[in-house]
Structure 1
Amino acid sequence: MTKWVKFDSKSKHGIAVCNFKVERVGFLKLFIGDVVLIYEEGDEWYRGQLSKDKTKKGIFPKKFVHLKEIGIKKTGSLDLSGRITTLELPLIQEITTVLREWHNIWKQLFVERRHELMSVQDMMQELIDQRRKIMSRKLTAEELRDIQQKIATKIDLGNALLGLDLVVRDELGSVLDPDVTSTIQLFRQHEEASERIKSEQELGIKDTQREKIDKTKDELTSMNWPQTFNIYVMLRNFVCRIGEDADLLMSLYDAKLGKFISENYVVKWGKEGVPKDIDNLNNFKVVFTDLGIKDRQREKVFLVIQVVRVGVMDPNDVNDKKQTKCLRRPFGVAATEITDILQGLKEVNEDMQQFIPFQQPSGEEFMESLIKKVVSAKEINHKGQGLWVSLKIMMGDLKQAREEHPHLVTMATAVSRKMGFPEVIMPGDVRNDIYVTIKQGEFTRGSKTADKNVEVTVLVCNKQGEPLKDVISYGCGNDMTNEYRSLVFYHEDKPKWFETIKIAISTEEEFKGLHLKFLFKHRSSSESKDRSERPFAMSFIKLLNQKNGTTLNDTDHNLLVYKIEKKDDKQAPYLDLPCTRDDLEEQGIHKDSKVPLFSGPFTLSQRDSFQINTFVCSTKLTHNVDILGLLKWQELLNELDPSALRLHLEKLMHVDGEEIVKFLQDLLDSLFRILIENTISDTYDSQVFECLVHIIGLISDRKYHQFRPVLDAYITDTFSFPSAYQKLTTLLREYVDRATEVNQKYLVKAMKSLEYLFKFIVKSRSLFNLLEEGKGKVAFEQTMKHLLHAISGMMLHTSDNTLLAQGSALKYMCSAIKDIAQVFDLVELSRLMVEFINNVPKERLTKQKLKCIDDLVHSDLFKYPECRRILLSMILSHTKSLMEEKKEELEDCILVLSDIMDVMYSKDF
């Protein structure tokens, strides 16, 4: 017998999800969508009543209803009881309400046979699908924001199509509450929504596919994606008959440029056809990180998996036991295009599995040519061989990916970095990597009767020729090693490897005197013969330029190949020999010269050649001499060479912006250290100040605007110069006081940099307060007052020479208020801002003045009544006179007054 239990707290509510048609006494008949009030439950049954008709009571099956969390919403102070509403996301509630309203209209459209019927039906189906996605609770915060905007657009278009009222929303698509939103704001949002819907209707956009039609690269850039994103890949399975151990090398490949853009992710696969580490069978996960807008704009991007067999030279040889083991041999390539995924045109998630067909080489084919063949092939005869993977796009940087997807990106998940910098380099992201690609070579037979099976061994050695330990990586997911051994091609005199490894050195100091050493060895198929083989030749290249301390250029290097005549070369003096063809020519030795070049056991082989490519990805090492000079400014001063430092400071203004932002933190540290260095007095002050202004201006430029958070993070977390404010305030005032004398280019740049100059001043003073416990507070306030008064005084000039500087001051002064307010009296600051505006001559920069006034309305000062009283009288005086005298400024004046009404409506006032 069923035991009935009353709910402990209040009754529950449910929605009927299926019809329950029973005519017997004691049962409650239900139709889909009925809301029921439940107050008792049994094993499989509920007892309750209909919400809309409380006289109808009875029992009904639990499976026929879906329980809902219910709350009471009061519509006003006089509404004592309120109305019942579900405790769901406002977006879900809106979709539900819209669907109910549209459904009734849809039925009427069907009866009247109206042409809008199918359009409304498609829209309703899409809203249902989107609602289901949200209810699954699998969306990240970023994905939820995106889907909310799409739904809002869809609802607005549908309402317009059906002639319903327009719903006023904010920028994120949320419905605005008229009780907490000003009339001005409601009007503006209503106007924007009307224009948006009108333009979309004119374009004939009817469904979400509009985002996928005729999408140009510029449109892709404007998508609602962050600056950086990641690709998550999980290897599900690898189906292939190899018979030996194998390395799977997974990476991203740009087919248009014909080069890899990410590090390898290495998975060790066993000869039994399962992973060597069987415990990781369902845990082969990697995140390809540091990707940005430029990567989304690539024309053809592939996920490429190279399969390297690790075993004997020829697995079909019957004398397998006598063969040399552990040779790395090319076995095949698998590739799938992911361009649409990167560009957001194709949706993927971690639950979807994708098959990537596998292609083996024909004979002794190079991996490079096989990759090009696979990515250009329309179909691959894979014979059922291939890999199963799952992919997912993750927004933001790696930290955000870990926070939003903790079940996918764990500490055990491998991270494959881009072979290059992300578009935003945050402070603390220290890299000191050199990517080396072993490209190709040409080797004579020598005493051999056939072409050699050449294996390249890469070592990183110090000045003494000793190899460094654990500094070489050929892919994430694998431990660092002392050396790297290349693929071996059978009887090939012109091998093409195109294998990339990473040299990771922890500090800049360790790079001094280091060089890469390449040993070439013939690998015999026979194990007994292979034991007696020794390296027959070597090449080397130094990591740093000995003349100026810069790193290797990011380019191809044609290395000289030296034959090794003796077995023992550990203490061989080869470092004095030229290492590249360019070095040889610099020494005046022609490449075809018959004069032997040798040192100890090493003799130059004119007929052999070897080519590598290097790419430096470092926040400590640079190719640029001027940046290097600034980073090592102390060494220049110790060498008593002040003119060299002055030259480096001067040339910094002409260095490419890409290089400056790469070393932003270290450059700023160097500039501030030079600025506050007591021993060099004020010799370099003006130049350092101009360099600071140049860097701030560079970050403010639209091209590098994504680095603003980097500069903000530097000021907040890294900046540590308590006395810098004294020099900065003095230098800024000097430039302002000499407004008619100094180079206007630098004065304009200084005015454009006011926000960050004051950020540095305020941060420096705050650090000084912590150290000295508020010492010099009055003197600092006087200095700040004089500085602000000087900027106000600059606005009095009427010459054309100062026009640009004055316009820049009006545009950027208000952006500094938030920081100045931390260390300066707010009322006094308000008076100085009034003086600043009033000093602008009547017929000069009128539009800029009104824009500055509008910025003041939106500043922190306007929130405080005592400041607002001071500012309002000035604002109203200017707007009144302009509205009376200059009709062309009427619209701008009305905008200012409207903003005042809008801002003061806020509950903060």
Structure 2
Amino acid sequence: SLEIGDTVQILEKCDGWYRGFALKNPSVKGIFPSNYIHLKNACVKNKGQFEMVIPTEDSVITEMTSTLRDWGTMWKQLYVRNEGDLFHRLWHIMNEILDLRRQVLVGHLTHDRMKDVKRHITARLDWGNEQLGLDLVPRKEYAMVDPEDISITELYRLMEHRHRKKDTPVPASSHHLFVQMKSLMCSNLGEELEVIFSLFDSKENRPISERFFLRLNRNGLPKCPEKPERHCSLFVDLGSSELRKDIYITVHIIRIGRMGAGEKKNACNVQYRRPFGCAVLSIADLLAGDSKDDLVLKVYMCNTESDWYQIHENIIKKLNARYNLTGSNAGLAVSLQLLHGDIEQIRREYTSRFTHGVSITRKLGFSNIIMPGEMRNDLYITVERGEFEKGGKSVARNVEVTMHVVDSSGQILKDFISFGSGEPPASEYHSFVLYHNNGPRWAELLKLPIPVDKFRGAHIRCEFRHCSTKEKGEKKLFGFSFVPLMQENGRTLPDGTHELIVHKCEENANLQDSGRYLKLPFSKGISLGNNSQAVKTTKESFWITSFLCSTKLTQNGDMLDLLKWRTHPDKIAGCLSKLKEIDGSEIVKFLQDTLDTLFGILDENSQKYGSKVFDCLVHIINLLQDSKFHHFKPVMDTYIESHFAGALAYRDLIKVLKWHIDRVTEVELHDHIQEVLKAQEYIFKYIVQSRRLFSIATGGQNEEEFRCCIQELLMSVRFFLSQESKGTSALSQLQAVFLSSFPSVYSELLKLFDVREVANLVHDALGSLPTVMHGDESLQAVKLQSIGKTVESHLYTNPDSRCILLPVVLHHLHMHLQEQKDLIMCARILSNIFCLIKKNSSEKSVLEEIDVIVNSLLDILLRTILEITSRPQPSGSAMRLQFQDVTGEFVSCLLSLLRQMTDRHYQQLLDSFNTKEDLRDFLLQIFTVFRILIRPEMFPKDWTVMRLVANNVIITTVLYLSDALRKNFLNENFDYKIWDSYFFLAVIFINQLCLQLEMFTPSKKKKVLEKYGDMRVTMGCEIFSMWQNLGKNAVKCCVGKKKK
């Protein structure tokens, strides 16, 4: 009988009926109506008794279906065993998987959404399998992997990756702080408020982020409830170093209203920004739980208003005498959460947080990693402090600063003053007012996002007004300061603190006519342009701090001189020399212009400036190795491919590069040559692209000359690498630097030379390395890493070049394995070699590669496994994991090699032994290794897939080797030890838990039988056959066992 949901396999069809069987009970055949059946396309593998029928549908759907069937049975058992918690959790997960399965089956999902759904599905399948003690499933891009379709080394890596992923989640490198303002609770409100959040580093005593700014109404609630995106912000790009206890969230609250909080409402019609309170919280308080949804921060006020600029520092330092609570019930209600990882990933995972949009608050200046294409021109201005005279009054002034950004025509630029994220930029800024203070300190940070085209000719004007507390509440202008943003030579206002002159003026002064005051001196410390008028003696000053964060403008005069080299040809040598002193962020801002300048100078006079230009190019290339500028490498790649026009540059680059390599033994040039060798990848890129441009322009002229130049260059390389140094020396350091980046050159050479030519060049270079192993150990490690990168390169994946490179690769591997050095690296290289060799490949080139590997490495590989498995496991968890990894990789390499070996390979191997003693030692060795491989602790308990593959390889190999036993060690040549080792292996093989099919679920048992059959039966038959061959020697085996 059939039930709804059963899967059937159809054998025949006739007039509305099918004949076939249910997969759950294939021994029972029957007929059933066709209109009850939904047909699915499928393919049949391994036809016959153990054939496999695989639906031609998405493998994730197939896995979900079979897994849910297995879970269904086990779920009921959970109820019987009274495991209620897991019973209910599994029920919810199963329903969730069913819902996700429907979404996949409908097929209306976008590519990205489908990927997301599959990620969720596999995560839930893995969770359920782990909870129920089922097997780990090897997957590649969410799809199950058939172990027969990939190499065993690749299978091991997939299993290991999934196992590690399950055990050790990778920590996020970037972090973000989500802040949501809810309300301010205070009994004496009644005025509107401004709330300003920022991050403050108490160790360095400076803010590290821009500000998040929002307005509250008279009730202490956000002023624009219809714009929820203004209530919250995401402080982005916090590095792990910034998640520490001395980083604080600071909140400054400013009230908008009367001068004194207790004044009558009709006392004054003019409103002022006045200090109200401050709250702080250490970011360390968020590290434990990551989320604080209903946090109430205490709000403090300074005892002396003049201390307002440093109130947050006083609270952090707990200088209690300088501040007190604004009220017993005052509190700021906020929601805070630390989020980890990529911003796009966070948006997907925390959709509720980003439903209505969130303002982004950046770190001050550039982030740790500057991204190419990032367009910024932000000028940060901190309004620091002022020193003013009483102005004929008996008491000090109430000073308010008003700031504008003014263009060259005297017009105020609209909407270029940002108080912080959360609010749109404004056209003017008003400072808060400190009561009766002639030396006010504000320390308010503003951002001026002025476009580059408006920057030249613009200036900042700050106007100073005395705010009267009388009934009229007048604001009376008494002076102003200004500062231009750019010099006439194109250099911008330098970063730092500037003391500006306060020019006295009256209320009726016409400041709109900027031409009148721009001729006046503006600062006591700097002079821009030709303004050299004498500074009037004045006791009044105003201080600001500026900091430019621009991807288009520079403050560096040396950079400007270099870019304008044609204007001042006499300065070229000096400009090239000074390039190394220019800050890296300035160079990457003008990367293309700088490179154009260098190659323009090279074209103009290569004889005079060739060496200096080469040095500058090396400096820029190495600058991009810095993690801060690493993302600019694609920008240089694009420049080389699309903008570089130096068709003759390759001659000078080859000549200067060879000059440096020929002088590696000169100690005084050691540091410089090291920098050159680090940059070789991009030097070759420029050489190759230059030669290609020359060939296009000339129709391939001077081809032979170019080939000779490259050959001579690589001859110098071979001589340099062949030099032997004793112990750690400058020479071995240079060799290590060269080898670490040499493999990156292969892909460039392939653009101009045939693959076999490049392979021979690389073979000769790597073959020239000294073969001694007693030299500098760090050089030996780098040498092996270079071999590893060679195996991972595109050059090695090509069969034509692989046959040339494989012998030299195996030679170096053999040397290291023989000395038992750098085993982790050796294992990785071997794994990569076998990952390229697919199972059952009958290509002649692959069979020849297996020949070479067997002859070179099989014996040393067996000895290595015996050596490392006989060592005691390290005690530390990290070292123990490393030990398990390297053991597993070598085991997978051995299994891969054995699985690839054909009848011919086995026959050649057995024929290669000169004496029976050598063959005997080999057989004892491999039987011992096999016994180690089938130990329960060799693989984690849920790696059944890996165990079955290993057992299949072992039994296949044993079948091949049993013939050698019969031919060489029977009758008068009978050897008890080798036969005992064979039977002992066979018995423990049969008794393995992973082969006891009776203990498996029906579906798992069916899959194992379909793929491998019952391997116990195969081995049992082999034991019987071999025992029969023993004849009278069987008694010796029995006696031997009895004696033992």
Amino acid at match of 1:619: T
Query: Is structure 2 residue 741 aligned with structure 1 residue 812?
Result: yes
The partner residue of 2:538 within 586, 605, 628 is 605
Task: Tell me the equivalent position of 2:759.
Answer: 830
- Alignment partner for residue 445 of structure 2, among 494, 500, 510? 500
CA contact (8 A) 1:739 1:802 kept: no
Residue 719 (structure 2) aligns with: 796
- Secondary structure of the equivalent of 1:796? helix
CA distance in 2 between counterparts of 1:297 and 1:146 reads 33
Residue 692 (1) aligns with residue 617 (2): yes
1:486 to partner: Cα distance: 0.3
Q: Deviations over 1:109-157 (max 9, x none)?
A: x9xxxxxx9xxx999999999999999999999999999999999999x
Mark the CA change 1:376 to 1:896 in structure 2 (over 3 Å): closer, same or farther. closer
3-state SS, counterpart of residue 757 of structure 2: helix
The aligned residue for residue 563 of structure 1 is 504
Contact 1:650–1:687 (Cα < 8 Å) also in 2: yes
Q: Is the 8 A contact 1:424 1:710 kept in 2?
A: no
Equivalent residue for 1:867? 801
2:226 corresponding residue in structure 1: 279
Q: Deviations over 1:471-508 (max 9, x none)?
A: 3222223333332110012223332212111123322x
Aligned to 2:373: 428
* TM-superposed deviation, 1:230: 3.1
Residue 424 of structure 1 deviates from its aligned partner by: 0.6
Q: Distance in 2 between matches of 1:566 and 1:194?
A: 76
- Look up the SS of the partner of 1:613 in the other structure: strand
Q: How many residues are treated as equivalent by the alignment?
A: 772
Contact 1:725 1:760 in 2 (8 A): no
Match of 1:671 in 2: 595
In the alignment, what sits opposite 1:183? 152
How far off is 1:530 after superposition?
0.7
| Distance in 1 separating the partners of 2:434 and 2:696 | 71
**1 or 2 for the larger relative contact order (CA 8 Å, sep ≥6)?**
2
- The 1:501/1:514 distance shift into structure 2, 3 A limit, reads same
Instruction: Show the counterpart of 1:18.
Output: none
CA 131–719 in structure 1, closer or farther in 2 if over 3 Å, else same = farther
Match of 1:476 in 2: 421
Matches of 1:406 and 1:486, distance apart in 2: 38
Instruction: Choose between structure 1 and 2: higher helix proportion.
Output: 2
The question of 1:296 aligning with 2:267 is answered no
1:383 matched to 2:329? The reply is yes
**TM-score w.r.t. structure 2 length?**
0.61
For residues 304-332 of structure 1, the C-alpha deviation after alignment (integer angstroms, 9 at most, x for no partner) is 33332223324643352x51323222223
Cross-structure match for 1:306 = 252
Tell me if 1:549 matches 2:491: yes
The question of whether the paired residues in 1 share the 8 Å contact of 2:399 and 2:464 is answered with yes
Contact 1:436 1:612 in 2 (8 A): yes
**C-alpha contact 1:472 1:504 (8 A) present in aligned 2:** yes
**Contact map agreement 1:248 1:267 (CA 8 A) in 2:** yes
Relative to structure 1, is the Cα distance of residues 410 and 546 closer, same or farther in structure 2, using a 3 angstrom cutoff?
A: farther
Offset at residue 670 of structure 1 (A): 0.8
Q: What percentage of residue pairs aligned between the two structures are identical?
A: 24
| 1:566 CA displacement | 7.7
1:332 counterpart (274, 277, 286): 277
- Number of the residue aligned with 1:47: none
Structure 1 SS opposite 2:566: helix
2:211 and 2:139 map into 1 onto residues whose CA distance is: 44
Structure 1 position 423, deviation (Å): 0.6
Give the match for residue 749 of structure 1.
675
**CA distance 1:263–1:849, change in 2 (3 Å):** closer
* Amino acid paired to 1:488: V
CA contact (8 A) 1:251 1:262 kept: yes
Residues 1:709 and 2:631 are matched in the alignment: yes
By how many angstroms is 1:638 displaced?
Answer: 0.6
Q: Is the 8 A contact 2:194 2:213 kept in 1?
A: yes
Identify the range of structure 1 (232-241 vs 707-716) with the bigger mean alpha-carbon deviation. 232-241
Cross-structure match for 1:347: 290
Residues 537 and 144 of structure 1, relative CA distance in 2, 3 Å threshold = farther
d(CA) in 2 for partners of 1:598, 1:521 = 26
CA distance in 1 between counterparts of 2:442 and 2:96 reads 47
Alpha-carbon spacing, 1:268–1:806, altered in 2? closer, same or farther (3 Å): same
- Secondary structure at 2:624 match in 1: helix
Q: 1:902 to 1:764 in 2, by over 3 A?
A: same
Equivalents in 1 of 2:317, 2:76: separation in Å? 49
Q: Which whole-Å deviations, capped at 9, do the CAs of 1:43-99 have from their partners, x for residues lacking one?
A: xxxxxxx99999xxxxxxxxxxxxxxx999999774445799995798999999899
CA deviation vs aligned residue, 1:834-874 (integer Å, no higher than 9, x gap): 23223445559766554433322221122222222222344
**What amino acid maps onto 1:539 in structure 2?**
S
Deviation at 1:669, TM superposition (A): 3.2
Q: CA deviation at 1:666?
A: 1.1
Aligned AA (1:858): E
Q: CA deviation at 1:731?
A: 0.8
* Structure 1 residues 336-372: Cα deviation after superposition (integer angstroms, max 9, x where no partner): 443354x5x4333xxx733333526367735434434
TM-score, with structure 1 as normaliser? 0.69
Equivalent runs, 1:601-640 vs 2, <5 Å? 604-606=537-539, 608-623=540-555, 625=556, 628-640=557-569
Question: Is residue 577 of structure 2 the alignment partner of residue 650 of structure 1?
Answer: yes
Unaligned runs of 5+ in 1: 1-9, 15-34, 36-49, 55-69, 111-116, 201-207, 212-222, 589-596
Q: Verify: 1:538 aligned to 2:480, yes or no.
A: yes
Q: Secondary structure at the match of 1:430?
A: coil
Question: 1:765 deviation in Å?
Answer: 7.1
SS at match of 2:576: helix
Question: What are the residue-to-residue correspondences of 1:413-452 with 2, within 5 Å?
Answer: 413-452=358-397
Q: Distance in 1 between matches of 2:172 and 2:64?
A: 21
Counterpart amino acid of residue 649 in structure 1: L
Aligned to 1:736: 658
Alignment equivalent of 1:904, drawn from 828, 834, 837: 837
* Alignment deviations for residues 268-294 of structure 1 (CA, whole Å, 9 cap, x no partner): 333465544442147633232243333
SS, match of residue 451 in structure 2? coil
SS at match of 2:396: coil
- Closer, same or farther in 2 for the Cα pair 1:816/1:122, shift >3 Å? farther
Contact 1:433–1:618 (CA<8 Å) still a contact in 2?
yes
CA distance in 2, matches of 1:782, 1:435: 56
Residues 1:525 and 2:455 aligned together: no
**Structure-2 separation of matches of 1:134 and 1:286:** 35
- Residue 357 and residue 826 in structure 1: after superposition, are their counterparts in 2 closer, same or farther (change >3 A)? same
Does the aligned pair in 2 maintain the 1:127–1:151 contact within 8 Å? no
Contact 1:123 1:154 in 2 (8 A): no
User: How far 1:897 sits from its partner (Å)?
Assistant: 4.7
CA contact 2:610–2:652 (8 Å) conserved in 1: no
1:491 to 436, 447, 470: 436
Shift of 1:454: 0.7
Using a 3 Å threshold, how does the CA distance of structure 1 residues 145 and 53 change in structure 2: closer, same or farther?
Answer: closer
Seen in structure 2, the aligned counterparts of structure 1 residues 636 and 123 have a Cα distance that, compared at 3 Å, is farther
Q: After the TM superposition, which of the residue ranges 282-291 and 492-501 deviates more from structure 2?
A: 282-291
Q: Is contact 2:176–2:235 with CA below 8 Å preserved after alignment?
A: yes
- Structure 2 counterpart of 1:361: 301
| CA distance in 2 between partners of 1:647 and 1:802 (Å) | 32
1:393 CA drift (Å): 1.7
From the superposition, tell whether residues 293 and 561 of structure 1 become closer, same or farther in structure 2 (CA, over 3 Å): same
Q: For the residues of structure 2 that align with 1:289 and 1:789, how far apart are their CA atoms?
A: 52
1:189-232 CA-to-partner distances (Å, cap 9, x unmatched) read 889999999xx9xxxxxxx9xx9xxxxxxxxxxx6213x44333
